[in-house]
Structures are given as C-alpha cells and as structure tokens.
Amino acid sequence: MAEPVVVATWPFGKTAVEVASKLLLQGKPPLDAALAGAQAVEDDPAVQSVGFGGIGNAIGTVSLDACVMDGKTLDCGSVAGVENIRHVAALAKKVYEKTPHIMLVGKGAEWFALQNGFQLETLLTPESVAEWYKKRPAKKLETKGHDTVTVLAKDSKNLLGGVCTTSGLSYKLPGRVGDSPLIGSGLYVDDEAGAAGATGVGEEIIRIGGSMFIVEQMRAGKTPQEAVELAIARIIKTATRRGKHPASVAFIALDPKGNVGAACTTGTDFKYAVARGEKIELLQAKEF
Ligand code: ASP
C-alpha cells in the first residue's frame, strides 16, 4: 500500500491537509477526504476568502464558487454564484450525485441546495463586513485579494480526488465567475495522469485552461513540477503577448505516484501545504 498524499493551497491549506490525511489513513476515498479538508477551511471565519466569513463582492455580497472531481470515474460537479450556503464544495458533489448535470449556478444552485437539506445562512461576519468597508476601492472597480483553497488527495491505492472552493476575488462584480468552479481551469483530476488545481486571478487561469493544461502535461510524461512550471510559463507568455504584466497566479499538482509540484508568478508569495501520511509541511513555491 502506498502512502497517502494531500496537497493544498496557502497556509490555511495545513488545516485541509491535516483533516484529509487523517481520513485517507482511515481508508476513506480521496475525494471524500479532500472535501472534508476543504470544508474545514470553509468553516473557518478567519479565512476571508472561502465559505463562512468570506469577503464580499462589489456590493458586499458573499458569492461562492466550487467544484469537485473524482479521478477514477471523472465524475465532477460544480456550483457558481451561490449565496447564503456555506458548504458549496459539498453542494458541488451533490450536483453529479443527484442530477445528470455538472454545473448549477445562482438561484438554481441555491434551490437545489435547499432541496438537498443545506441550510440558508448569512455568511457575513462582523469581521468580514468591517474588512470589506476598510479595503473597498474608493471609486473604480478594483478586484483584489485571492486565496482559494484547492485540495488534491491521493489514497493508498494511488487513486486521486480534488476539490476547489472560494469566494473568488474580493470586490468582483456581481455575477462574475472565476476559474475555481470551472472543471479544467480551477481543477482537473484524472487517475491516469494526475491532479492539478489553481489559485489567483481567475481570468488568466481560464484563458489558458490552467488545470487541464497541467494534467495533460503530466499525461505526456512531465513531472508535476515540470507541468506547473510550464503552465506558469504559459501565463507569462500569454500576458506578454497581450502587452500586460503577468497576474498573480499559482498552481499545484499531484501525480498518482505521490510526486507534488507547485509554482507561481513573481510576487505571489505562494505557500502550500503537503501531508505525507502523518507528516505535514508548509512549503514555498518557486516564483517565475
Ligand atoms: N481563483 C479565484 C478567482 O479568480 C480567486 C482566488 O484564488 O482566490 O475567483
């Protein structure tokens, strides 16, 4: 039996990998483990970029996006623009379990949540409202702050699962959806190649189909580290071609052997958490 491995974005990813790793060691499936890890972050009001306590959009509303993917079956589910439901990653999983669809958005996703026993609740906290007022752009729309939690898990049978959940860029326009709930952009998982996930400015991740790009590089024989570096190179090249400065973007990847990769654009200061069995580390990604 191989050692379970979990990798997750940002320092709060330590909570996610700790929870997910314990479940993998008990023999739980990788997607369930990744989901429980992501949910622990969704529940933490101190994390103002995911779930409960997330920072509002341009009009102060918390609007959540999430997706999940199972590497064995390629089952995947996704929700976007969801308000007043805390566990959107679990809701994304329900989409493929209970419907013939992959993605539900807005009011339809909220109706589906209520049909499936999710509770309506306000996701704002006094702290997140105060933060929203303090940092809101004075005049023009300026999206800032990103910190999606993406969790990739491999179990002892080398099966993969992944989850991505976020409140998206703070101060985004109402209705804006980033990469995080888009299968192939914010997340992609295939046991035959590997798993990849993203955080950062979603528009640039969507533009290159970031996570699918990385998984296809691994399918073609690249290591996870080589694959994420190629994706960052693609982000930089695309920005240069468009006469722009590369946006803040980071990727993580995990292959079925448990090899991990991470890379980001300059200035992103991206840290990620890795659990190998019971050993948990917070690592700094290479910047390009
Ligand atoms: N990727 C997310 C988005 O564009 C932002 C983030 O990583 O926090 O919505």
* The pairing of beta strand 5-9 with beta strand 64-70: unpaired
Print the SS3 string covering 144-192.
Answer: ECCCCEEEEEECCCCCEEEEEEECCCECCCCCCCCCCCCECCCEEEECC
**Looking at residue 78, what DSSP letter applies?**
E
Is 185 near ligand 1, meaning CB less than 6 Å away?
no
* Predicted local confidence at residue 50, as pLDDT: 78
Do the beta carbons of residue 112 and residue 90 sit within 8 Å?
no
List the one residue out of 214, 164, 163, 215 whose CA is nearest residue 192. 215
Residue 144 has pLDDT above 80, yes or no: no
Domains by residue range for the chain, with CATH: 5-283 (3.60.20.30)
Q: How many angstroms is it from 276 CA to the middle of ligand 1? A: 26
What is the pLDDT, as a whole number, of residue 139?
61
Cα distance between residue 187 and residue 88, in whole Å: 15
Q: Return the structure tokens found at 159.
A: 């099966």
**Any idea which residues carry the catalytic annotation?**
148
Ligand 1 centroid from CA 278, angstroms: 29
The answer to whether the CB of 204 falls within 8 A of the CB of 178 is no
| From 57, 64, 166, mutation site for ligand 1 pocket: most ligand atoms within 8 A of C-beta | 166
| Ranges 17-31, 52-66, 162-176, 188-202: which has the least confidence | 52-66
Q: Which of 9, 148, 167, 265 to mutate to test the pocket of ligand 1 (most atoms within 8 A of CB)?
A: 148
What is the CA(1)–ligand 1 centre distance, in A?
Answer: 35
Triad 181, 138, 141: Cα angle to 5°: 35
Task: Judge whether residue 52 has pLDDT over 90.
Answer: no
pLDDT class of 125 with cuts at 50, 70, 90: confident
